[in-house]
Structure 1
């Protein structure tokens, strides 16, 4: 029988999405993972979440925001300002994982990002996420 519960890393991605979203819409008032951890993760207090992966994602995105944007912007058909904060945060997470974590298959990264977009994004946001990350993966991963 298939387990329908989300994995620890999937839950970590959801929490990271919440933290990065808050960081984006707050004008970047959160300066580090500890600020976000205090507001997001500590409120969950779940042993089902991969806390280390959550921190890797938050630190990776906050520390590399500008370079991550530079990597995915060639594949978007609109300005960064016109992308919803949810989709923007998902693109940051997916781009970070594609570029820095070759141990994770690119299809897994894209699928996780699409699932985040389906759960938290706009109606067709998942199509946009899939398209951008698929093009980036082809470039980064030489697929």
Structure 2
């Protein structure tokens, strides 16, 4: 499975879990069936396990928004991207940002990609300093 597809499936899995009673295992089964992918597993487990720390990192970059008010798609995309940017070192920040923007174009509304780009730009600027 290519990384872009793994990110799409991770988004679908984490989206299902956000605010529901579903477990990661149940959501993974719905999205992946019996198929397995290491990058997908790392992205889903890492984002879910580190969600509190990721949310704290995100809060400082949301102007006039709270995490709770964000649409679920954007919140999930941002969480995944921040996990990759902050905890993984195998892809350049520009690739991670581009992937997040593409996911927001596919799964979000007309304004999603600009919003995701703005938040992640602030986050990557902070990481660079």
Aligned to 1:38, which of 29, 35, 58?
29
- Residues in 1 aligned to 2:19 and 2:12: alpha-carbon distance in whole angstroms: 11
State yes or no: 1:122 paired with 2:109.
yes
- The CA RMSD over aligned residues, in Å, is 1.6
Matched-pair contact (CA < 8 Å) for 1:25–1:85: no
Instruction: Provide structure 2 residue ranges, at least 5 long, that are not aligned to the other structure.
Output: none
The 5 Å alignment of 1:1-143 reads 8-26=2-20, 29-32=21-24, 34-42=25-33, 45=35, 51-77=37-63, 78-142=65-129
SS at match of 1:81: coil
Note the C-alpha offset of 1:71: 0.6
Aligned equivalents of 1:39, 1:104: Cα separation in 2: 27
How many residue pairs were aligned? 128
1:25 Cα deviation after fit: 3.7
Q: Deviations over 1:42-99 (max 9, x none)?
A: 17x5xxxx71111101101110111000011111120112100000000000000000
Larger radius of gyration: 1
Instruction: For 2:127 and 2:41, locate their aligned partners in 1 and report how far apart those are by CA, in whole Å.
Output: 23
> What is the CA–CA distance in structure 2 between the aligned matches of 1:118 and 1:132, rounded to whole Å?
15
TM-aligned CA deviation for residue 128 of structure 1? 0.6
SS at match of 1:102: coil
Aligned-partner Cα distance in 1 for 2:84–2:128: 11
CA distance in 2, matches of 1:59, 1:36: 12
Cα deviation 1:80-135 (Å, max 9, x = unaligned): 12100000000000000000112210000000000000000121111110011111
